[in-house]
Amino acid sequence: MNDTRRAVLAAIADGPVSGPDLAAQLDVSRTAVWKHVEALKEAGFSIKSDDEGYELTDVPEYGGLAVEYELEAPYELEYHERIDSTNTLARERAGDGATDLVVLADEQTGGRGRLEREWAAPSGGIYASILTRPPLPPARVPLLTLAAAVAVADAAREAGVDATIKWPNDIEVDGRKLCGILTEMEGEADRVEWVVVGIGINANVDADSLPAGATSLREHVGDVDRRLFTQRVLERYHDLAGDPDAILPAWREKAVTLGQRVRVTTPDRQVVGTAIDIEPPGQLVIDTDGGVERVHAGDCEHLRPVGE
């Protein structure tokens, strides 16, 4: 949202302000004020205008400007009702030089998981791709995936859902998948050019429109306010991304994987044992019959404990 539009919103949120006062306050013409007000109305903001001036009476339920409104993180939002994949568009924007941009959609027709798997993304979910240019070497980028997982788990818990994190990138409720994260990047060996962290949350969707083994926020607590939920996720993610030392402790607190018997499948091997820790930048430490092993990425299954 442009700065003047943001300032118009902030000013009229606290009661009626006359057009001339607003123009003087923001140092723009009255016509400019009027144009901003019209654009905001177009985006779904309810603005009362009478003799006393303009007053914000309601905020749109969802959308780019709605999420940007009072967002305490420095992201610009680009919203689409329907798009193939928010990650794909965010990558394109990265190629054009953008940064601190979140591509958000109500529905995706070609949502992607890891390794070109499909991600079901019906209308009503939260599909967000955060594009940034962090001053990190590529090897540290997995930390950002963990930060996003913590952010979603925290927002879900705030909404009353008992969400846990399964290494490396799933948020689950009672063993069913609520959210997945796909992190993509471009860069050189010692410096990242850009990173896109794509977050897919089954929010206000029926579980029967999702693959087996999936669950949604709706199933547990009914429909959530997607605007506030998305804001909480973006704000928490931004805070953690700026404080990398806080990521692993926060992740450990919510992880179900630690202490479990696991089977991790990577493209070239399988590792079976007890997950005992996570180490920077996100590798799982597994105690196996043959000693301690570390895996950076892979699909993780939680196994029943031996002897059960």
By the criterion CB under 6 A, which residues form the site for ligand BT5? 85-87, 108, 111-115, 117-121, 127, 129, 169, 177, 180-182, 198-200, 202, 210-211, 214
Q: Report the residue number, 9 or 73, with the smaller CB distance to ligand BT5.
A: 73
| Nearer Cβ to ligand BT5 (86/260) | 86
Q: Which of 198, 227, 284 is nearest to 70 (CA)?
A: 227
Residue type, 236: R
Q: Which residue is nearest to ligand BT5 (CB)?
A: 180
- CB of residue 121 to ligand BT5, shortest distance in Å: 6
Measured distance CA(257)–CA(300) in Å, rounded: 9
Q: What's the CA gap between 151 and 94, in Å, rounded?
A: 23
Closer Cβ to ligand BT5, 73 or 210, answer by number? 210
- State in angstroms the smallest separation of the CB of 305 from ligand BT5: 24
Please name the residue that has the structure tokens 């991600």: 119
CA distances in angstroms from 56 to 35, 44, 232, listed in the order given = 15, 11, 22
What would the two tokens of residue 78 be?
Answer: 């680009």
φ and ψ of 51, to 5 deg:
-60, -30
Q: How far is the CB of 219 from ligand BT5 (least distance, A)?
A: 12
Separation of alpha carbons 127 and 199, rounded Å: 6
Cβ closest to ligand BT5, residue 134 vs residue 298: 298
Query: Nearest 10 degrees: CA dihedral of 107, 172, 182, 104?
Result: 30
**Distance, CA of 198 to CA of 175 (rounded, Å):** 21
Measured from the CB atom, the residue of 71 and 83 that comes closer to ligand BT5 is 83
CB of 134 or CB of 168, closer to ligand BT5: 168
Question: What is the nearest approach in angstroms of ligand BT5 to the Cβ of residue 184?
Answer: 9
For the bound state, the minimum distance from the C-beta of residue 87 to ligand BT5, rounded and expressed in Å, comes to 4
Nearest distance from C-beta of residue 129 to ligand BT5, angstroms: 5
CB of 248 to ligand BT5, least distance (A): 20
Residues in the chain: 308
Instruction: Write the CB contacts of 86 (distance below 8 Å, at least 6 apart in sequence).
Output: 80, 103, 104, 105, 108, 127, 128, 129, 198
Nearer to ligand BT5, 38 or 162 (CB): 162
CB 129 within 8 A of CB 103: yes
In contact, 21 and 53? CB cutoff 8 Å? yes
